[in-house]
């Protein structure tokens, strides 16, 4: 069984491109060209060079000594927090901006939740001298204020999404609306492995550099390519897709995906899609989705803006359905506690999204000889105000 996308754009039962007719020419143009362009030597040369010189790759695979001693197992952290702009999101925006240029597009739009994808998009637009508009939910604009300021400094326009829960889902709706109205000159840089085919596959391929590096680095450090566990948080699922990509068909590697339980799965204030979701269509993709009995999307909730999404990408829906990955849900309180614990144990302040992944250490029992890789998707600078309020740090 393959866990990758098939020729029709599906991962098992999930994926596809369920889009309004007005979007068809744009999505089809991308579908017909993305693999061809990505495989061109000239494209690969520029992409790889920027990953090295601009993003700062390869990111370290850091052996977390104190954490390992605490849990009596071998814990490695893949340091995506050390990427330029502070998270994995830039791996994907570098790839997509090069693709947009090849397609002759001059105006870039994006959605953002935590603001990391917005900042990464604004950054590559500045780098390439292209116009940039970022849609962001009103609530996220407030809770991720430092990232809003960064986007503005980088020359992007930030447009608030004021409908629904005023978070990531609503920002995505606005971005899609914009694309429908500006089909000719506009390229939509989606920030996760969501949306209509080919986006989930394309974003996963750009993020796959994470697991490619893990393999090489583990070989050097441990004399073997495959860890026993790879763990990542899942909002839409792009950092997880990147961290899992080269291990999907390696059954010896256990895969753990971590979702946001918010205030608790049963409270009605959660974003735990695998626990609560049913098959549905969101943002052009057939996937698992939190919804009411009559198919209306349930408003999600998580303290972390980047996990506050009512669906997961189709790759993850398939990993869940086929049981290839184990899915765990972590509450706001558990994640926040880990934000502080990682800071004090390893001197690394994680993004709140990322802190969810670490809470798995309290949920699973690992053997002393196990190699456990946690994808440290981003740094916590953007979340300082939330940490300050939660822990009353001032």
Ligand X SMILES: Cc1ncc(COP(=O)(O)O)c(C=O)c1O
Catalytic annotation, residues: 89, 111, 377
Bridge pairing between strands 61-63 and 14-15: unpaired
From CA 146, how far away is CA 231, in angstroms rounded? 28
Q: Which residue lies nearer to ligand X by CB, 74 or 79?
A: 79
Tell me the Ramachandran region of residue 227: left when phi exceeds 0, alpha when psi lies from -120 to 50, beta otherwise: beta
CA–CA dist 355, 375 (Å, integer): 10
Q: Does 354 bind ligand X (CB under 6 A)?
A: yes
CB of 289 to ligand X, least distance (A): 15
Nearer to ligand X by Cβ, of 234 and 272: the residue is 234
CA 201 → CA 5, 178, 206, 234, 344, distances in Å?
7, 23, 9, 16, 37
Candidates 152-160, 182-190, 252-260, 346-354 — which segment interacts with ligand X by CB under 6 A?
A: 346-354
Helical segments of 208-310, H only: 209-222, 238-244, 273-276
DSSP 297: B
Nearer to ligand X, 73 or 76 (CB): 76
DSSP label at 227? -
Q: How far apart are CA 182 and CA 190, in angstroms?
A: 16
- Residues 138 and 285: their CA atoms lie apart, in Å, by 25
Range list of H helices, the chain:
24-39, 41-50, 65-71, 89-102, 116-128, 138-143, 145-153, 168-181, 199-207, 209-222, 238-244, 273-276, 314-321, 332-346, 352-358, 384-391
The answer to whether residue 235 forms part of the interface with ligand X (CB under 6 A) is yes
**Which of the stretches 133-141, 155-163, 232-240, 260-268 binds ligand X when contact is defined by CB under 6 A?**
232-240
The footprint of ligand X on this chain (CB under 6 A) covers a number of residues equal to 21
Q: Which of residues 367-386 bind ligand X (CB under 6 A)?
A: 377-378
Strand partners, 251: none
Is 192 among the residues that bind ligand X (CB under 6 A)? yes
Q: Is 300 in the site for ligand X (CB under 6 A)?
A: no
The nearer residue to ligand X, 74 or 198, going by C-beta atoms, is 198
Answer for which of 134, 234, 258, 315 binds ligand X (CB under 6 A) is: 234
> What are the backbone dihedrals phi and psi of residue 288, each rounded to the nearest 5 degrees, phi first?
-85, 140
118 near ligand X, judged by CB under 6 A:
no
Question: Among the candidate windows 18-26, 97-105, 113-121, 322-330, which touches ligand X by CB under 6 A?
Answer: 113-121
Q: What is the DSSP letter of 277?
A: -
| Residue 196 contacts ligand X per CB under 6 A | no
Give the span between the Cα atoms of 338 and 78, in whole angstroms.
Answer: 17
| Binding residue for ligand X, selected from 9, 236, 311, 314, defined by CB under 6 A | 236
306 makes contact with ligand X (CB under 6 A): yes
Judge whether 108 and 98 are in contact, CB under 8 Å. Answer: no
CB of 352 to ligand X, least distance (A): 8
Identity of the residue, 74 or 338, whose beta carbon is nearer to ligand X in the bound complex: 338
C-beta of 166: minimal distance to ligand X in Å? 16
Q: DSSP per residue over 66-121, as a string?
A: HHHHHHTSEEEEEEGGGSTTSBTHHHHHHHHHHHHHHTT--EEEEEESSSHHHHHH
Tell whether residue 239 is a contact of ligand X (CB under 6 A).
Answer: yes
Contact pattern from residue 78 through residue 97 relative to ligand X, giving x for each residue in contact according to CB under 6 A and a dash for the rest: ---------x----------
Minimum separation from the CB atom of position 245 to ligand X (A): 13
Residue nearer to ligand X on the CB measure, 238 or 285: 238
With CB under 6 A as the contact rule, the residue among 113, 196, 200, 284 that binds ligand X is 113
CB of 293 to ligand X, least distance (A): 27
**Applying CB under 6 A, which residues contact ligand X?**
87, 113-114, 116-117, 192, 233-240, 306-307, 351, 353-354, 377-378
């Amino acid at each position: 069984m393959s866990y990758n996308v098939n020729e029709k754009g599906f991962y098992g039962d999930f994926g596809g491109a369920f889009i309004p007719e007005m979007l068809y020419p744009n999505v089809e143009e991308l579908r017909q060209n993305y693999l061809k362009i990505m495989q061109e030597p000239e494209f690969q040369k520029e992409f790889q060079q920027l990953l090295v010189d601009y993003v700062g790759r390869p990111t370290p695979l850091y052996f977390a000594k104190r954490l390992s001693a605490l849990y009596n197992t071998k814990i490695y952290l893949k340091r995506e927090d050390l990427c330029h702009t502070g998270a994995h999101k830039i791996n994907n925006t570098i790839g997509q901006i090069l693709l947009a240029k090849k397609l002759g597009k001059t105006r870039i739009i994006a959605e953002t939740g935590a603001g990391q994808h917005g900042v990464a998009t604004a950054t590559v637009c500045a780098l390439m001298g292209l116009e940039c508009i970022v849609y962001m939910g009103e609530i996220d604009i407030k809770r991720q204020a430092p990232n809003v300021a960064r986007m503005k400094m980088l020359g992007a326009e930030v447009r608030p999404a004021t409908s629904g829960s005023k978070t990531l889902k609503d920002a995505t709706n606005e971005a899609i609306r914009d694309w429908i109205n500006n089909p000719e000159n506009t390229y939509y840089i989606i920030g996760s492995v969501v949306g209509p085919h080919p986006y989930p596959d394309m974003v996963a391929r750009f993020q796959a550099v994470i697991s490619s590096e893990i393999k090489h680095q583990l070989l050097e450090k441990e004399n073997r390519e495959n860890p026993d566990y790879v763990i990542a948080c899942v909002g839409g699922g792009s950092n997880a897709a990147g961290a899992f990509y080269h291990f999907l068909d390696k059954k010896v590697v256990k895969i753990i995906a971590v979702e946001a339980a918010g205030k608790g799965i049963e409270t009605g204030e959660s974003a735990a899609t695998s626990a609560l979701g049913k098959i549905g269509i969101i943002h052009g993709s057939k996937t698992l989705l939190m919804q009411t009995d009559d198919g209306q999307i349930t408003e999600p909730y998580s303290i972390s803006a980047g996990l506050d999404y009512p669906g997961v990408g189709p790759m993850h829906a398939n990993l869940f359905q086929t049981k290839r990955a184990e899915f765990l849900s972590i509450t706001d309180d558990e994640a926040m506690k880990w934000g502080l614990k990682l800071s004090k144990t390893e001197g690394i302040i994680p993004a709140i999204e990322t802190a969810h992944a670490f809470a798995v250490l309290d949920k699973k029992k690992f053997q002393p000889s196990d190699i456990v890789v946690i994808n440290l998707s981003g740094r916590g600078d953007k979340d300082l105000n939330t940490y300050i309020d939660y822990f009353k740090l001032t």
